[in-house]
Structure 1
Amino acid sequence: MLEPDSIDATAAALQAQAYLPSRELATAAFLALRLKRPLLLEGAPGTGKTAIAAALAAALGRPLIRLQCYEGLDLAAAAYEWNYARQMLEIRLAQAQDRQRTADDLFARRFLIERPLLQALTATPAPVLLIDELDRADAPFEAFLLEFLSDFQVTVPEFGTITAAEPPIVVLTSNRSREIHDAVKRRCLYHWVDFPDAARELAIVRARLPGIAEALAAQVVAFVQGLRRLDLYKLPGLAETLDWSRALVELNAVSLDPATVQSTLGVLLKYQDDIARVQGSEAARLLAELREAARA
């Protein structure tokens, strides 16, 4: 599929993959595609940052390559490493045949093992590269990314510079557990992904779970929106809304009631302190607000 030629076309392409972006996010995605710039998405966990990369890949018919970041991530896992076992085999074979192997022979392209960053530069067609949760990686790893994000290339000291024939579509995400360096941000278009408002969240639930009862979907969204107004350790994100909705459908629930909420809060909230706070009177208050709104 050709890249969308407008913001509306970008939004429509994402919506066709059951991803309903805000107007601002659709604008950021459109500009990232047109300007060939990486897109850095920050926001709370569970707000749909990771999912947009998969939606873009599906909408554009591109492969998706994912680099999951973590503490201690290095070049060997992120970009490339040399196949030392094969190099040693070549040396021993040369010795057996009484031949010499030069450094150029041993550091040829065939010995280079491609990891996600290098795969993104060499894949055809150009893929969507997701660099997920960059804030989990160590700060020095960001310094290595600067060349990649600026010029879509990787320099291998023993071999040379490998540049993409066609730049990949790069999406970086961060849950902001630490600040991303300004040098990285300058190379990217930036967008903060917030929790959706009630109307968009309801539309997303309907799109992802077309079989859910209308009344139940509306109650789920209203309940989750109410939870986000509380002072919880971890507010439920869109991912938790969808998980809870699926769980309720599996339980054949048609509406929310105290017993159902009590028994399924662990799907929605991930910390015991949050569950303990919501159970009982707080859940009853939110359910009462739902009933009051329904009568209004």
Structure 2
Amino acid sequence: MNFTTIFAQYKIARDTLAALTPEQQEGLERAAWGADWFTDAGGGLLSPLLALRVPPDPEPGGNAPPLTQPLDFPWADRATQGQARQSAQAQLVVFDVSSAAPLGGEMRLIHSAHFADTHGDPLLAYAPAPHKLGQQVIQAERADMGLGQLTRTSVLAYRTLTAGQDVRTLEARLVFLPRKNQVSKVRWLAAYDHALKVQGGETLHVCQLRAALDQEGSGKRNFHASTLGSTQLSTLALHALSAGSTRPYAALDDEAAPAPTAAARRLLDDLLNPAVPAPPKVKPPKPPKAPKASRKTKPAPPEPEPAPVQGSNPAAEPPLPAKSQVPELPSPEIPSPESPFPETPPAGSGSGARPAEVQPPAPEPAPDPWAALDTRIVVDEDVLAVSRAALEQRRPLLLTGAPGTGKTLLATLLAEVLCGPGNFTLVTADARWTSSEVLGGLRVMPGEGLRYSFVPGVVTQTAQRHRESLQASGRPHALIIDEFNRAHQDEAFGRLLTLLDRPYRAQMPLVGVQDGAPEDVFLPPDFVLIATMNDADVGRLHEIGSALQRRFVTVPVGVPARERDFLERSWAHLPAATLTALYDFVGSGDPGSDREAGRLRGFVTVGTFFMEEVLGLATTLGLDRALRSQVAPQLGSLGRDDLAALEARARQTGLPKLAAQLALAGQQAPF
């Protein structure tokens, strides 16, 4: 896992460039632009931001050793690499950031990240951040939060630090209620210290975890959490918990950081000093009630024995008569209007009144169909929460991701939960689609003579099925368009564009008599539309314009965090070693660590569907042959170095057939 608000960077200052010969300066500048470097305001050269790894969590009860990471030098031209490396100076670039993404309903997921010196005091910072750097931070935040375009990131300030300068960062992930302007839940808080060190001609990033508190990890990430209340960390933590603030913690033009809110102080105190639940109260048993006298006048019975005084010897009391000896009493009188039911005597009183009726147990609540999705598919909680919120508000939903991440399956399951089993129309977009295929139009009909007739398109047909479904069951009918970007967007969906906004659906028909339809057909206001799109094919298929994309709630579907647990349950009959070997070659889904280890997911994105296909074949073919058959389509875009790393990982994992296939692909690779 990488940080998203602190990075490393190399800089070749303008003064350093000026000290070189014109030929050297021109060569460096030409090579720098080819390596995606850019020029700063002072005329120096800046490299792209370099990702820095988060140190691993310490063992329970153990210490947190610092993570030391060597910095790569991003320079492609070998002829000038030595001169460039000698001229460049490494620096840390740290950002004060506030990111927000919808969680469904009124909730927002907030990622609040700030920096200070190692005493917790604000550092002088600058704003706004250079556009190119700001865009890299925004992309990193979107990838980290897993909500893509839905994530709204504000880069509030930034600062650069050279070797020998330390900086402390604190990050908070919060659930925020905008309407109440308060934090409802703290998911986690974490503080780190960072520094650059030059050792043996190599620049190192040294990072140490100072404190962490994870409210969702069942205590797995609770390291020195009490220090978050110390003078060196509390002001930084309180600023992060005051999530409604849009100002940085760092000092801009000698401005002091805003004072934390009282709600943030209470929140931090509750986190560090949780209330101990009181033991449950045990009520003493109630003494038996004395029988109530009947309200109806009864004939005078024989003179009874005097009642024993409380506290007297119970052995001296006369025994109660047997049930068969108890005389029948007259029926109770009809209840008055103020008391609609007769008063029921207590059990054992000897009254002839009927005992109170036993209330039947309350019916169990129906299971939540949304919660049952966990048994049929594995997706991250945020993906499901945003999808549910969009569909319940009848917003068009666009699921994006690499092939095999389960987008189509998720779309059908979402439609079933909302509309009922099978109550949806599933179509695949086609490059030949026009407005006629989407909305409808006149077509030549077979038969004698030239005859035209109106044929409704997929959206118009689904709109009619939607109305029929509402009349029959009270539930909508959904339209799922798979591979959405395979259709030409302007030709296929141009006329539908305005109608995706709900306020205009009653004003403009989908099709009308001018299109040859027998009557005007309108798009229902609660119409359900779900689309899927492979982002791996974006460069080769039709591009979705911003006007169309903004009308969708876009949800990226990636490798879910709970994928392995789901597969272990679904494929429990397979040996545990099979799943272990599969993940050892494919990887967990963190591109940085997977690429460093030479695992497949470090080079290409494969989803849960790919894993299930491999496991299904492994039951009969074995894992080596199963992987060999499924990996082949993933290798076309990889170079020799990538294939060599995968080959080494396959041999290390004990997959000789797959390793031989990767070696052959490496020999045939064009680059």
TM-score w.r.t. length of structure 2: 0.34
Q: 1:270 deviation in Å?
A: 0.8
2:611 corresponds to: 241
**After superposition, where does 1:42-191 map in structure 2 within 5 Å?**
42-60=400-418, 61-62=420-421, 63-85=423-445, 111-123=453-465, 124-125=468-469, 126-140=476-490, 141-151=492-502, 154-156=510-512, 157-158=514-515, 159=517, 161-165=520-524, 167-176=526-535, 177-178=538-539, 179-191=543-555
Conserved? CA contact 1:155–1:161, under 8 Å: yes
- Give, in whole Å, the separation in 2 of the partners of 1:13 and 1:228: 31
- Give, in whole Å, the separation in 2 of the partners of 1:263 and 1:10: 34
Higher share of residues assigned strand? 2
- Give, in whole Å, the separation in 1 of the partners of 2:382 and 2:435: 34
Q: 1:22 deviation in Å?
A: 0.9
2:624 corresponds to: 261
**After superposition, where does 1:25-40 map in structure 2 within 5 Å?**
25-40=383-398
Q: 1:138 deviation in Å?
A: 1.4
Q: 1:86 deviation in Å?
A: 6.8
5+ residue gaps, structure 2:
1-104, 108-366, 470-475, 588-593, 656-671
Q: 1:49 deviation in Å?
A: 1.4
- Give, in whole Å, the separation in 1 of the partners of 2:462 and 2:400: 22
Match of 1:247, as an amino acid?
L
2:583 corresponds to: 221
Conserved? CA contact 1:80–1:115, under 8 Å: yes
Which moved further from structure 2: 236-245 or 264-273? 264-273
Q: 1:37 deviation in Å?
A: 0.5
Q: 1:246 deviation in Å?
A: 0.5
TM-score w.r.t. length of structure 1: 0.71
5+ residue gaps, structure 1:
92-105, 254-259, 289-296
CA, structure 1 residues 214+6, in 2 after alignment: closer, same or farther (shift >3 Å)? farther
Which of the pair has more CA radius of gyration? 2
Match of 2:555, as an amino acid?
H
Higher share of residues assigned helix? 1
- Give, in whole Å, the separation in 1 of the partners of 2:448 and 2:531: 37
1:283 corresponds to: 650
Q: Match of 1:82, SS?
A: strand
CA, structure 1 residues 88+34, in 2 after alignment: closer, same or farther (shift >3 Å)? farther
Match of 2:486, as an amino acid?
R
Match of 2:511, as an amino acid?
T
1:257 corresponds to: none
Give deviations 1:225-246, integer Å, cap 9, x for gaps: 1534433xx4322221111010
CA, structure 1 residues 183+280, in 2 after alignment: closer, same or farther (shift >3 Å)? closer
Q: Match of 1:163, SS?
A: coil
Match of 2:405, as an amino acid?
T
Match of 2:602, as an amino acid?
L
CA, structure 1 residues 263+83, in 2 after alignment: closer, same or farther (shift >3 Å)? closer
- Give, in whole Å, the separation in 1 of the partners of 2:385 and 2:395: 13
Conserved? CA contact 2:441–2:456, under 8 Å: yes
Conserved? CA contact 1:38–1:170, under 8 Å: yes
CA, structure 1 residues 86+138, in 2 after alignment: closer, same or farther (shift >3 Å)? same
